[in-house]
Structure 1
Amino acid sequence: MTESSDAVAVATQFGRALRAEGVEAGPGRIAGFCRAAALVEPRDLYWAGRATLVAGPRDLPVYDRVFASFFTGAPTETAQPSVRVHVEGTLETELEVALASSIELLRQKTFADCSPEEIAELARLMEEMPLAVPRRRSRRRTAARSGSPDLRRTLRRSFRTGGEPLERAWSRRRVQQRRVVFLLDVSGSMTEYSRALVMFAHAALRAGRRWEAFCFGTRLTRVTRALATADPDEALRRAAEEVVDWNGGTRIGESLKRFLDEYGHRGMARGAVVVICSDGLEVGDPDLLGQQMARLSRLAHRVVWLNPLKEHAEYEPLVRGMRAALPHVDVFSSGGSLASLDALRRELGAL
């Protein structure tokens, strides 16, 4: 049994113990175990786990043995399936903390340390995150009960009263969502993070029509259509097929220049929130990167830069590319875990 200081990891450790014995207890099943166990008494914990963590009859003997060993310290002998295991003592208090923290542990875990199963679970959690989309006032106007006088509609109504403007009309400027553009670095130095960040872009694209996504390494590739499918794994597969320089080199400046030349000045970046996900390890000309970031900052409403290396407390933006870009960045954050992306999600709504 773990000490109270380690109570937050009880549920996760139990799932790992089952996986080590061959039981397919992935993050999804562990999360289900947490939800089920929160609804039952501690003495019924055995049955909550059996209902959520066991995939079939062949796993029952292993589950009984691991449960008895993990929670009661009993010898690892096969337990009888019909025997109800009672959990007493301080486990109830510790388990309440652990059950609530299983998903939180995954939220705080850096993408570089996540297994493929955990990345899949993170994709599901991203789909459930409500994304706050920044808004702006449009130049177009709409009818309203108050606001600015609408002379055209007022004059039209005056025809009914012999030309006297007795019934006045009002209008206001429409409010619409700002466009959000993702520029995702999928070069070799971002291998440990690119999959999760593409998953986040996929969840964002499904949340609204005014989201765009591009991938870049040594060249720029638009992947908005590739990510416009419901299945995250299929979206990732389609994006990987279109991006020919995945896990290659990094030319951020040249990729930004192409984005601005072909898309940005045509309206995609104008008034938009542009989110660049990259570690800033530029192998091209850093002066070119600085020039293109200056162009982007003049067009965009806000420029957000997510650098997963910022997750480490000792990180300093000393590489040439990052130093050239930072003067033109409005928000500099990590984006290396689900928790940091959740913080960005809330911050986007206030931009």
Structure 2
Amino acid sequence: MTLPRAAHPFVEFPAILRSHGFSVAPDQTIGFLQAVGLLGPQSILDVHAAGLAMLAIPHERKQEYDALFRGYFMGQTISAPAAGEEDDQVQVHEPSGGTREVDAEEEESEVGAEAVSGERLSHRQFPEETEDAVLREFARQAKARLPRRKSYRRAPARHGDKLNMRQTLREAVRRDGEVFTLPKTRRKTRQRRIVLLVDVSGSMKDRTETSLRFAHALAQSADRFEVFTLGTRLTRVTSSLKVSDAVDALARTGSLVADFDGGTRIGDALAAFLNVPRFAGFARGAAVIVLSDGLERGDPAVMISTVQRMSRLAWRLDWLTPLAGDAAYAPRTEALQAVLPWLDSLSDGSRTSAIATHVLNLARVA
């Protein structure tokens, strides 16, 4: 299919933005074209507004966008700031299913030291190796020590709790009605699902890489797991972390997650998680682990209500914060203080070894 000549500028401009480091996906380019067609447009300002709306321009890079827009469409090289509004929605992103937007709550008060609500879209490249010895030891022990739950299926067992009537009847037929032993069964066990929620906002910048490396080690060791990133968006990264090579897996994850080092909207992201029925189903009976400092910005009621709901769904809910590496640490944000009664533990998440030890001890603690 040949692209109409009139549409060429609106396809070339997103390519120019990508060459300058903007994260513009192909579906956003299509949306830009559709928006321009819908608007008319009446003036060049309509094209400018369509680009802002459909190409997900970060607020802090708006002046750079203006300069590129004026240079391409108007032949100017001096940018002038234009008024814009901040997006008030948390986007739920899953690689195979596109993007789904879930309404977020109004953010009225600021609670938290370095937390911000503005969405900042960027990608991340990771160094090749960090704390490999700890992760290898975790992988070695995980198969035997990750928490397990009883299955509805049963298996033959010497010291079972229920007679195996089928086996008993087979033995009776084979031995002309005589039964010398009573075979028994017991319920099988399988690994309990682990749901890892990784905060990738700006206040967790120093811990993002190590958290995702631990998530990759968990993905290689666990039979049943799910990993999501939280920031100004909710992104499911389970499939990318299944790749065995750590460098490749993190590179794929870095290309999927668009809100690295951006704003902090923990409550809204958790609400988005629970508002998608399939995602909420992952948490049912699972060990849910949140890797976050809990520095929420906005009305803490959203985070409080979502943590309450999640604690009712999950087998246990653990919050690991890097701030707890200090022995004198006590939660000071209003939201984190309020959710303490619904957490099974608020523990140290400052080191990979501390996170690994906590996860391996979940079955013992329970």
TM-score after normalising by structure 2: 0.59
* Paired amino acid for 1:270: R
Q: CA separation in 2, counterparts of 1:284 and 1:160?
A: 72
Q: Following TM superposition, by how much is the alpha carbon of 1:138 offset from its aligned partner in structure 2, in angstroms?
A: 1.5
Q: Is this contact kept in 2: 1:286–1:321, CA < 8 A?
A: yes
Q: Does 1:121 pair with 2:134?
A: no
Deviations 1:210-267 (A, max 9, x none): 122111101211111111122323222211211111111122122222222323443x
Which of 253, 259, 262 is the equivalent residue of 2:267?
253
More helix, by proportion: 1
Q: Does 1:325 pair with 2:334?
A: no
Q: Is this contact kept in 1: 2:126–2:250, CA < 8 A?
A: no
Q: Following TM superposition, by how much is the alpha carbon of 1:330 offset from its aligned partner in structure 2, in angstroms?
A: 0.6
Q: Aligned Cα RMSD in Å?
A: 2.4
Structure 1 residues 221 and 123: alpha-carbon distance in aligned structure 2, compared to 1, 3 A threshold: farther
Structure 1 residues 138 and 241: alpha-carbon distance in aligned structure 2, compared to 1, 3 A threshold: same
Aligned to 1:304: 318
* Paired amino acid for 1:126: L
Which of 153, 163, 166 is the equivalent residue of 1:140?
153
Q: Following TM superposition, by how much is the alpha carbon of 1:348 offset from its aligned partner in structure 2, in angstroms?
A: 2.3
Q: Is this contact kept in 2: 1:154–1:168, CA < 8 A?
A: yes
3-state SS in 2 of match to 1:183: strand
Q: Does 1:236 pair with 2:250?
A: yes
* Paired amino acid for 2:146: V
Please identify, of 303-312 and 331-340, the stretch whose mean Cα deviation from structure 2 is larger: 331-340
Identity %: 40
Aligned to 1:224: 238
Q: Is this contact kept in 2: 1:264–1:270, CA < 8 A?
A: no
3-state SS in 1 of match to 2:305: helix
* Paired amino acid for 1:279: D
Deviations 1:71-109 (A, max 9, x none): xxxxxxxxxxxxxxxxxxxxxxxxxxxxxxxxxxxxxxx
Q: CA separation in 1, counterparts of 2:133 and 2:258?
A: 27
The count of corresponding residues between Structure 1 and Structure 2 is: 235
Q: Does 1:199 pair with 2:213?
A: yes
Aligned to 2:89: none
TM-score after normalising by structure 1: 0.61
Which of 1 and 2 has greater Rg? 1
Q: Which runs of 5+ in 1 are unaligned?
A: 1-115
Structure 1 residues 158 and 234: alpha-carbon distance in aligned structure 2, compared to 1, 3 A threshold: same
Residues 99-178 of structure 1 aligned to structure 2 (within 5 Å):
120-129=129-138, 130-131=141-142, 132-147=145-160, 148-160=162-174, 168-178=182-192
Q: Following TM superposition, by how much is the alpha carbon of 1:162 offset from its aligned partner in structure 2, in angstroms?
A: 6.0
Aligned to 1:96: none
Q: CA separation in 1, counterparts of 2:307 and 2:296?
A: 13
Q: Is this contact kept in 2: 1:250–1:284, CA < 8 A?
A: no
Q: Following TM superposition, by how much is the alpha carbon of 1:120 offset from its aligned partner in structure 2, in angstroms?
A: 2.3
Q: CA separation in 2, counterparts of 1:250 and 1:208?
A: 29
Q: Is this contact kept in 2: 1:252–1:284, CA < 8 A?
A: no
Structure 1 residues 121 and 288: alpha-carbon distance in aligned structure 2, compared to 1, 3 A threshold: closer
